[in-house]
Amino acid sequence: MDDLAARLKDLLFPSVANVVVLSLDVNIATVRVDVRCTTAGASCPLCETWSERVHGSYLRFPADVPSGGRIVVLRLRVRRFTCPNASCGQRTFVEQRPGLTRHHGQRTERLRSTLSDIGLALAGRAGARMTRELGVGVSRSTVLRLVDALPEPDPPAPRVVGVDEYATRKGRHYGTVLVDVESRRPVDLLPDREAASLAAWLAKRPGIEVVCRDRAPFFAEGATAGAPQAVQVADRWHLWHNLSEAAERSVSQHRRCLRVLAPTDPQTEAEPALAAEPATSPWMTSNRFADRTRTCPVDLGRPTVTPR
Ligand SMILES: [Zn+2]
């Protein structure tokens, strides 16, 4: 019998220590597993004092991951212990099994982890539909709450960090997004785009060697104050964006020169007729674009890159 209980424990809870399976009840729709802890006592969660003074016990019924299309419910007997530390504010406490239960948890840790993974992959509504397919249907709010309760990931400090702004409400409220340029993954979001916030974030990560940013003055000030050891560079997107704007502006300023030269170009003989189209015609837009992109033989001057 003990051998059977040990095999059931290894089968049902391979990663949970100090529990024993007392019985297993299987019917058409449900699997009910009787479990209890085998330790003599438990540590107080507040002062971590070991206690074997049992105050009482009761049953918990945490939902578990389905098995063979059946709902699995644990019938877990837990004990309430008295903390022997007279100065501790926690007079009694309930034992928890790491990897199996948590305080006030309605689900086992592995079911909680499964639902969190579904939430991360599918988010609320689609995640809730998937949980119903798996036989552990929960609401979309529950899926999102489980995702929200996950611990914050702690990504390694980037060596090259990109800084830019993002809008939570365009024109009204902006924050700062920080990206690991080498891994191309966002690292953090700051709730504003103040120099002091950026400086404080950078100061906590002395390993940053390069700050890649646009020409916003608050980013320049924050990067200088927070990471004086880092090289500051303009990011490629803003360089190309500003260059293209400057080139377009220069060509646009020389449109008159292009129109004078246009009749001499045999490829544009039909242009006067098209130019007579109404201003709202898409042909007109097309010709204007052609004018601006055609090679001009005169000196267009030196394009200037305008800071944002
Ligand atoms: Zn205590």
Query: Rg for the chain (alpha carbons), in Å?
Result: 33
Question: How far is the centre of ligand 1, averaged over its atoms, from the C-alpha of 29 (Å)?
Answer: 42
Q: What is the pLDDT of residue 40?
A: 92
pLDDT band at 256 (very low <50, low <70, confident <90, very high): confident
Among the listed residues 93, 88, 111, the one whose alpha carbon sits nearest the alpha carbon of residue 103 = 93
Average pLDDT over residues 87-110: 90
Question: How far is the centre of ligand 1, averaged over its atoms, from the C-alpha of 91 (Å)?
Answer: 7
Question: How far is the centre of ligand 1, averaged over its atoms, from the C-alpha of 149 (Å)?
Answer: 26
3-state secondary structure of 162: strand
Rounded-to-10 torsion of CA 203, 209, 214, 217: 40
Question: How far is the centre of ligand 1, averaged over its atoms, from the C-alpha of 61 (Å)?
Answer: 26
Q: Which two tokens stand for residue 121?
A: 């992959």
> Read out DSSP for 59-88?
EE--EEEEETTEEEEEEEEEEEEE---TT-
Say if residues 158 and 208 touch (Cβ distance below 8 Å): yes
Is a pLDDT exceeding 80 seen at residue 264?
no
Question: How far is the centre of ligand 1, averaged over its atoms, from the C-alpha of 304 (Å)?
Answer: 70
pLDDT band at 41 (very low <50, low <70, confident <90, very high): very high
Question: How far is the centre of ligand 1, averaged over its atoms, from the C-alpha of 83 (Å)?
Answer: 5
Question: How far is the centre of ligand 1, averaged over its atoms, from the C-alpha of 84 (Å)?
Answer: 7
Per-residue pLDDT tens over the stretch 117-161: 999 999 999 999 999 988 888 999 999 999 999 988 777 888 999
Question: How far is the centre of ligand 1, averaged over its atoms, from the C-alpha of 163 (Å)?
Answer: 46
Question: How far is the centre of ligand 1, averaged over its atoms, from the C-alpha of 103 (Å)?
Answer: 15
Question: How far is the centre of ligand 1, averaged over its atoms, from the C-alpha of 46 (Å)?
Answer: 5
Q: Long-range pairs for 91-98 at CB < 8 Å and ≥24 separation? A: 92/55, 93/42, 93/44, 93/45, 93/46, 93/51, 95/37, 95/39, 95/42, 96/42, 96/45, 97/16, 97/17, 97/18, 97/19, 97/37, 98/16, 98/17
Q: How far apart are the first and last CA of the chain?
A: 77
Question: How far is the centre of ligand 1, averaged over its atoms, from the C-alpha of 146 (Å)?
Answer: 28
Question: Greatest CA span in the chain, whole angstroms?
Answer: 103
pLDDT band at 212 (very low <50, low <70, confident <90, very high): very high
Rounded-to-10 torsion of CA 118, 122, 128, 129: -110
Q: What is the pLDDT of residue 263?
A: 60
**Inter-CA distances, 190 with 97, 123, 176, 198, 199, Å:** 37, 23, 5, 8, 11
Question: How far is the centre of ligand 1, averaged over its atoms, from the C-alpha of 98 (Å)?
Answer: 18
Whether the predicted model's global pTM rises above the 0.85 cut:
no
| b/e code 171-187 from CB counts within 10 Å (16+ = b) | eeebebbbbbbeeeeeb
Question: How far is the centre of ligand 1, averaged over its atoms, from the C-alpha of 302 (Å)?
Answer: 75
